[in-house]
Amino acid sequence: MSWWTMTGVEGDHRPWSLEERFHRIAEAGFDGINGFLPSPEEADTWRNLLDRYGLSFSVNAYPKSAEDMISFLDKAQTFGNISFINAQVMTPFLIGSGAEKLIAEMTALSRDAGIPIYIETHRGTITQDLLRTVHYVERIDDLRLSIDFSHYVLAGEMLNVTEEAEALLQKLLTRTSSIHARVSNGEQIQVDVGVRGEHPMMRHFERWWKSGMTHWLNDVEHDKPFPFICELGPPPYAITLDEYGKRQRELGDRWTQSLLFAETARAIWSSMFSGR
């Protein structure tokens, strides 16, 4: 479960406390949290709660350089027990050999530190668009990705997914190391897909999620769980009714939608083993 998603989630008309969030996440069947490195003052509290509720912990990083990555890895090692780092590399205008070199450096640094790094497919970062990310996959053998295709669906205004787009997206899915669950309709980054996932774009995302899981399973032997992260952003990322005002009145319910995504992912995962 994304810790970002838990921002502003309420129960009994009040925000959940820190431990209530942990309790709700574990109670709902999630086995980990994807969040942010706690401050030194909060580190012990987080370690204790993660241990108490039996949750794994992965973190997000926003480096611009190899030096930034070195600094972040040092802090991650100090905290301890980080399962992986999800990196949004904040250099959207760096392309070509310079971008390839930076990605390769970050991958090597994470390997040396013993903490895997997965580069997220995300607007406004080094993976700004679909074509350049396909190029990175073709050029960098050990590049592993956090797949969030909502960004490419939106950036490409994919109201319909063409055969050409599908072929390119499938190339990226061969490098899947984690998935972020969010659905775009090609015009908004994040939409409510309905109580049972009735939105027609949900079928495309289900196909991509299954393809990513399949590639991950067939790639190498794995001794760790596959990270499928329900990541729905709070306002103003989420669509709101008061767009002209404080942008806090959401159209959808992030918690129930997250539970739907988790249920969908578990069903897809189970279906892949039913015939084995």
SS3 36: coil
Closest of 81, 140, 130 to residue 107, by C-alpha: 140
Full set of structural domains in the chain with CATH:
3-271 (3.20.20.150)
- 131: tokens are 């074509």
Task: Give me the mean pLDDT over the 8-21 stretch.
Answer: 84
Contacts of 192 by beta carbon, 8 Å cutoff, 6+ apart: 199, 239, 251, 252, 253, 257
pLDDT in tens, 229-264: 999 999 989 999 888 888 878 989 999 999 999 999
Q: Would the pTM of this model clear 0.85, i.e. be above it?
A: yes
Task: Give me the mean pLDDT over the 84-102 stretch.
Answer: 97
Residue 276 pLDDT? 54
Residue 14 pLDDT? 79
φ/ψ of 104, rounded to 5, equals -65, -40
Q: Report the distance separating Cα 83 and Cα 117, nearest Å.
A: 9
pLDDT in tens, 48-80: 999 999 999 999 999 999 999 999 999 999 999
pLDDT in tens, 153-191: 999 999 999 999 999 999 999 999 999 999 999 999 999
For the cut 90, the answer to whether the pLDDT of residue 106 exceeds it is yes
Task: Give me the mean pLDDT over the 31-43 stretch.
Answer: 97
Task: Give me the mean pLDDT over the 110-135 stretch.
Answer: 97
* AA letter at 117: I
